[in-house]
Amino acid sequence: MEQRTQFYIDGQWLAPAGKGSIEVFSPTDGALLATIPQGNAADADAAVMAARRAFDAWSATPAAERAAFLKKIQEGLKARTDEIARTITLEMGMPYKMSQRIQVGSPTASFGMYSKMLADFPFEERVGNSKVVREAVGVVVAITPWNYPLHQIAAKVAAALGAGCTVVLKPSEVAPLNAFLLAEIIDAAGVPAGVFNLVTGYGPAIGEALVTHREVDMVSFTGSTRAGTRVSELASATVKRVALELGGKSAAIILDDADFKVAVKGVVGNCYLNSGQTCTAHTRMLVPATRYAEAAQIAVEVARAYRPGDPMNPETSLGPLASKMQQDRVRDFIAKGMAEGCELLTGGAELPKDINPAGYYVAPTIFGKVNPDSTIAREEIFGPVLSIITYTDEDDAVRIANSTVYGLAGGVWSATDEHAEQVARRLRTGQVEINGGPFNIYAPFGGYKQSGNGRELGKYGLEDFLEYKAMQFRPAPKA
């Protein structure tokens, strides 16, 4: 069992003021995996003040020098890829072979992207008699989730550091161990003291102390819409900038002219990625009513090919959920879907066969003929549960897709990209996959409506951590 007993504050590993500890459990078998410190308001204050003291010098550091530090962090992540992938697999359950590519590959690429971007990013421009400069917003608190733990950390930390901000990171207590590895890598890279700080603990204690701290200029939060609402309320007292990446209930529309074998397989794969623990998961598959039977048959065949099991086993394609709480929540949603009359096509609330019963597993599940107003069609489940919903025509499909409080992602499948794009433009959502187009870290990531505000990744993520300043000069006298 791993024991972490210190925070990384002001360039040092320090004993926390808080005396409690938090247990981290393995989702594979429910065993105790590690313990981490349970920080309190005093720890929050120490981390924030360290970031405040470091801000002036870091924000004035030339962009090329900041880029060099980001490059060193990228190299440090690459050097420890296997260790980090194994750590994330053990703490949150994504199959190891996928963790190497996604859970480590993506954050490594993010640090590299921002390192390159700083070389020619327009931090200032001339507008008439004004010089408009982009300056770091200040001290940033980053609060991150457990489903893609290091990816979400990197999307915030790499952009914030590149912009010239200093950072206090509070990762999820469910999957925090990867954050300690990142802190070690940042320390080894020689990043100046106080520029990056790491604390852990529960949201109501240390999290709220960070969000309400008067020396914090911005909060970047990823998590549930309920928690994001609380963050916004607390931050409003000091008029902080708040960036939120929250929930989703994304729809994939399969148009009548699409290749159904390809499209349905793509939607099921999207829904089941990371055992459904993806905020952009396409959990509603919209198909023409006249082709429901065909779509349902293909979806069930694809779902039954998934192999739940130990995420360290190379043959496993569906790992456990990250926590017992999440497992119970997903199984409750499945039971609710059945109680509301949705047709269970495969899977269900029972544990998968030949699985360690102490692990946090859920069978790959599909519901058919789902009413768009049912609970499982409206609320974010965050598990391997797909709802198939029928529509009458394209207008009806767009109406159903948009009939949600969320607007994070979506997908459209068609025989042509042009046809799919016509429908995609009508969706009120931050990202749309056209015929299964892959994720792009250079594109803006974020949502409409209750999926949040602000954008991460690419130049858009860097801009979120910058302020504008306009300096007006007297025009040169006319000859």
Identify the domain containing residue 190 by its residue range.
Answer: 2-246+452-470
Structural domains of the chain, count:
2
Indicate whether 273 and 167 sit together in one domain: no
- Domain containing 118 — which CATH number? 3.40.605.10
Nearest-10 crossing angle of helices 63-79, 105-117: 160
Catalytic residue among 91, 173, 245, 433: 245
Residue 477 pLDDT: 82
Indicate if 255 and 323 belong to the same structural domain. yes
Low-confidence winner among 6-20, 82-96, 215-229, 350-364 (lowest mean pLDDT): 350-364
222 and 254, same domain (yes or no): no
**In the predicted model, what is the mean pLDDT of the chain?**
97
Mean pLDDT of 243-250: 97
Q: What is the CATH number of the domain that holds 356?
A: 3.40.309.10
- For residue 183, being part of any structural domain is answered with yes
**Angstrom distance (rounded) from CA 376 to CA 373:** 8
Do 220 and 297 share a structural domain? no
Residue 125, domain member (yes or no): yes
Task: Answer yes or no: is pLDDT of 479 > 90.
Answer: no
Q: Is residue 479 included in any domain, yes or no?
A: no
Query: Does the annotation mark 467 as catalytic?
Result: no
Q: For Cα atoms 342, 323, 325, give the angle at the middle one, nearest 5 degrees.
A: 60
* 272 in a structural domain: yes
Is residue 78's pLDDT more than 80? Answer: yes
pLDDT digits (tens, 9 = 90+) for 91-126: 999 999 999 999 999 999 999 999 999 999 999 999
Residues 40 and 138 in one domain: yes
Closest by CA to 281, choosing from 148, 442, 420, is 148
Strands 343-346 and 365-368: antiparallel
> What value does the mean pLDDT take over residues 148-173?
98
Examine residue 203 and state whether it is found in any structural domain, yes or no.
yes
Could you report the per-residue pLDDT of 307-351, keeping only the tens digit for each? Answer: 999 999 999 999 999 999 999 999 999 999 999 999 999 999 988
Work out the pLDDT band at 361, boundaries 50, 70, 90.
very high
Let me know: does 388 contact 370? Beta carbons within 8 Å.
Answer: yes
Q: In terms of domains, do 262 and 345 share one?
A: yes
Residue 477: inside a domain, yes or no? no
Contact partners, residue 476, CB within 8 Å, separation at least 6: none
Q: What tokens does 444 get? A: 């803006």
pLDDT score, position 296: 98
Distance CA 348, CA 368 (A): 12
Q: What is the pTM (predicted TM-score) of this model?
A: 0.96
Measured on CA atoms in the order 332, 333, 334, 337, is the torsion positive or negative? positive
Residues 31 and 179 in one domain: yes
Catalytic residue among 165, 279, 342, 456, which? 279
Residues 194 and 265 in one domain: no
Which pair of tokens denotes residue 3?
A: 């024991």
- Indicate the DSSP class of residue 432: -
Mean per-residue pLDDT for 28-43?
A: 97
Based on the domain organization, do 141 and 191 belong to the same domain? yes
- Find the mean pLDDT for residues 76-95: 98
Per-residue model confidence (pLDDT) at position 351: 86
Q: For the residues 234-252, what does the mean pLDDT come to? A: 97
Q: Which of these ranges, 64-78, 419-433, 465-479, has the smallest mean pLDDT?
A: 465-479
**Residue 320 CB contacts under 8 Å (≥ 6 apart), including other chains:** 27, 28, 93, 275, 308, 311, 327, 359, 360, 361, 362
- Same domain? 242 vs 257: no
445 assigned to some structural domain: no
One domain, residues 313 and 457: no
- Is residue 354 pLDDT above 90, yes or no? no
- Domain membership of residue 321 (yes or no) is yes
245 annotated active-site: yes
447-471 pLDDT per residue, tens = 999 999 999 999 999 999 999 999 9
8 Å CB contact between 409 and 282:
yes
User: pLDDT grade, residue 353 (50/70/90)?
Assistant: confident
Cβ 361 vs Cβ 321: under 8 Å: yes
Average pLDDT of 181-205? 97
Q: What is the pLDDT of residue 478?
A: 81
Are 35 and 145 within one domain? yes
